[in-house]
Amino acid sequence: MTDTLKKYLETNPVDYGMILGSGLGDVASEIQAEQVLAYDKIPGFPKPTVEGHAGQFILGNWHGHRILAAKGRFHYYEGYSMDKILAIVDYFHAVGISHVIVTNAAGLMNEKYEKGVILRIDDFKDFTHKALEAGDLDLAKIREDEKEAIDRAVSQSNVSIGHGIYVWTTGPSYESPAEIQYFKELGADVVGMSTMPEVIRARSFGMKVYPFSCATNYAAGIKKEALYHEEVTETALKVSGNIKSLISSLLNVLDKS
Ligand code: 6GU
């Protein structure tokens, strides 16, 4: 089997890549598709096993900007090796993408914010002890030019966002209230099961990275109510309009820089 998308991209190159997290697949509806390719049509590509992760690349036009979106990603808790977890970023690199927008659904710990907030991820904490396999941990921290581009995009959009530190855990289970209390004391703002290795690998390739969390639910013990899995997709869907606006203005800013 040959990879027709990669061949097509050799003659029709694309600058922007985007990874859509749990429940955020709807964000891709903003793209006028030029090509859609299921991951299982790509030789050697892993298959997502998680509900809410479609497992396809969508190449197309986002309000005048060409972009390759990955709908569905690979997680450590699915049993994948780091090579498989990084298959999407490695693919972006192989087809010459230079800027990557990375999104995820995460649990909120910082009570300064409310459920549904979008956060710019400024740095990561690795509680899996696997991140080094993706690259040097100092690549996790956002670069000044990336931060400036995001802030300019926010000021030109109708969306307000926060910023913070993301803790990467292996999953698949959520944390105990005591673990969340500990993460809070360490200065973390959101917790999730993805993104950190992708960001490190992308920066190690020299790509510009724009990482965002959508805080779809409060982490354990933050509020009296228990968390439930459907909350992730419910909130992600509500916030997807804001994410679309933010991405549109970020692409406008990046095109001009
Ligand atoms: Cl509370 N924890 C983790 N590890 N990942 C999440 C989450 C919580 N909420 C959404 N993703």
How large is the ipTM? 0.99
Task: Output the residue whose Cα is nearest ligand 1's atom 8.
Answer: 107
Length, in residues, of the chain:
257
As for how many domains the chain has, the answer is 1
Phi, psi of 215 (to 5 degrees): -80, 90
Quick one: which atom of ligand 1 is closest to the CA of 174? 2
- Averaged over 26-38, what is the pLDDT? 94
- What is the C-alpha separation between 151 and 174, in angstroms, rounded? 31
- Averaged over 194-205, what is the pLDDT? 98
Q: Residue 171: CB within 6 Å of ligand 1?
A: yes
Of 11-20, 68-77, 135-144, 232-241, which range is least confident? 232-241
For residue 48, is pLDDT > 80?
Answer: no
Quick one: which atom of ligand 1 is closest to the CA of 219? 1
The confidence score (pLDDT) of residue 110 equals: 98
Is 18 a catalytic site residue? no
Q: Which one is predicted more confidently, 51 or 28?
A: 28
The confidence score (pLDDT) of residue 251 equals: 97
H helical segments located in 3-143: 4-11, 82-85, 87-94
Q: Residue 154: CB within 6 Å of ligand 1?
A: no
Task: Output the residue whose Cα is nearest ligand 1's atom 4.
Answer: 192
48, 34, 59, 62: which is closest to 244 by C-alpha?
Answer: 62
The confidence score (pLDDT) of residue 61 equals: 97
For residue 214, the enclosing domain spans 4-256
Cβ atoms 195, 139 nearer than 8 A: no
Which CATH number characterizes residue 139's domain? 3.40.50.1580
Task: Output the residue whose Cα is nearest ligand 1's atom 10.
Answer: 106
The helix-helix angle for 196-204 and 87-94 (nearest 10°) equals: 30
- What is the C-alpha separation between 174 and 40, in angstroms, rounded? 29
The confidence score (pLDDT) of residue 114 equals: 96
Q: Residue 107: CB within 6 Å of ligand 1?
A: yes
For residue 225, is pLDDT > 90?
Answer: no
Q: Residue 221: CB within 6 Å of ligand 1?
A: no
- The tokens describing 75, both together, are 């997680």
- Averaged over 40-55, what is the pLDDT? 76
**What confidence tens digit (pLDDT) does each residue in 158-196 have?**
999 999 999 999 999 999 999 999 999 999 999 999 999
Please, what sign has the CA dihedral across residues 101, 102, 107, 111? negative
- Averaged over 68-73, what is the pLDDT? 94
For residue 53, is pLDDT > 60?
Answer: no
For residue 228, is pLDDT > 90?
Answer: no
The confidence score (pLDDT) of residue 44 equals: 86
The confidence score (pLDDT) of residue 256 equals: 87
pLDDT-based confidence at 50, cuts 50/70/90? Answer: low
Q: Residue 169: CB within 6 Å of ligand 1?
A: yes
Is 63 a catalytic site residue? no
Task: Output the residue whose Cα is nearest ligand 1's atom 11.
Answer: 106
For residue 22, is pLDDT > 60?
Answer: yes
CA of 126 to the centre of ligand 1 (A): 14
Is 134 a catalytic site residue? no
The confidence score (pLDDT) of residue 24 equals: 87
